[in-house]
Amino acid sequence: MNEMSTASVQKIYGELLSLGIAERFEVVRLTMDSLLKEIVDVPTVHKRSLLELRGLGKEIWEGVDPVEYVKQERDSWER
């Protein structure tokens, strides 16, 4: 990196620090998306919905009484 680009990077970094944390995370996300597109020829990363996880692992809870389960958990905290 030459002196000119180092100065530019420092200037941008200073401006970045003036942003709030949420805005800085957004800049990082956008930067990472941009880098991924340049490095790897992949389509735009699609956001996933938390709702896609609905029902996942439901067989684990078959036959378990939720009230009794919570009672047992709370009792274990007392020990």
pLDDT tens, position by position, for the chain (79 residues)?
677 688 899 999 999 999 999 999 999 999 998 888 888 765 666 778 889 889 999 999 999 999 999 999 999 998 6
- pLDDT recorded at residue 44: 62
The per-residue b/e assignment along 4-24, b for 16 or more CB within 10 angstroms, e otherwise, is: eeeeeeeeeeeeeeeeeeeee
Q: Which helix (H) or strand (E) holds 31?
A: helix 21-39
pTM of the model: 0.44
Q: What share of the chain is helix, strand, coil (3-state, %, to 5)?
A: 70, 0, 30
- pLDDT recorded at residue 5: 86
